[in-house]
Amino acid sequence: MTRMLIIGPPGSGKGTQAERICLELGIVAISTGDIFRANVKGETPLGVEAKKFIDNGDFVPDSVTNRMVRDRLAQDDVAEGFLLDGYPRTTAQVDELDNILATAGVQLNVVVQLTADDEELVKRLLGRARDTGRSDDNESVIRHRLDLYREQTEVVVARYAERGILAKVDGLGDMDDVTARIMDAIKNV
């Protein structure tokens, strides 16, 4: 049973690779970004609260995100494994995830970190903005999100590296090649 996290800067291919990994391993993908966007589109109370942060390129507050993830991980379809995409992003969220998993008597098996050059990420995200019309993908917001990633999320990566469950994978190149690198890295952790 695989319980894992995929992490990396915005635009590194986390969502695309999460889908591919989940198909390969037969586990459930849990993307906080997708859940937030669905709530924003549906104009739910969570969506209205989250939208103001998302539109500024800021992370949604831990209190909102933690509650959502706790509820999602309590659902039956994750019993055979899951892949978290977009959570945890802060050390406080790592602590909360540890508590959630400990309550269930489980822990993460592997954390895959996708890496990519900032300029390539900006180029990818600007292209995605043109293709999808996402309001949170303009150059200043993208660069702000990359700065936030470095300031907050890289500490998360270090914590998982200390536990010996981190696999760094180059996120650039052909999608099939990246997927193959990820699957190899998962086997070697």
Q: Is 55 annotated as a binding residue?
A: no
* Residue 14, annotated as binding a ligand: yes
Strands of 28-31's sheet in order across: 28-31, 81-85, 2-7, 110-115, 166-170
Whether 86 has a binding-site annotation, put simply, is yes
Question: Which residue is catalytic, options 72, 89, 124, 181?
Answer: 89
Residue 128 appears among annotated catalytic residues: yes
Residues pairing with 168 in the sheet: 113
Told to judge if 159 belongs to the known catalytic residues of this protein, a careful annotator would answer: no
CB atoms closer than 10 angstroms to residue 6: 27
> Is 130 annotated as contributing to ligand binding?
no
Known active-site residue 123: no
To the question of whether residue 15 is assigned a binding role by annotation, the answer is yes
Query: Does residue 45 have a cis peptide bond before it, meaning omega lies within 30 degrees of 0?
Result: no
What is the Cα 109 distance to its own chain's centre?
Answer: 16
**145 flagged as catalytic:** yes
- Written as six digits, the tokens of 30 are 């849990």
Q: Active site residue: 128, 143, 159, 168, which one?
A: 128
Question: Quick check: is 89 catalytic?
Answer: yes
87 is in an annotated binding site: yes
- Which single residue is written with the structure tokens 């300031």? 151
Feature table: binding site: 11-16, 32, 37, 58-60, 86-89, 93, 128, 134, 145, 173
- Binding-site positions for AMP read 32, 37, 58-60, 86-89, 93, 134, 145
Catalytic residues: 14, 89, 128, 134, 145
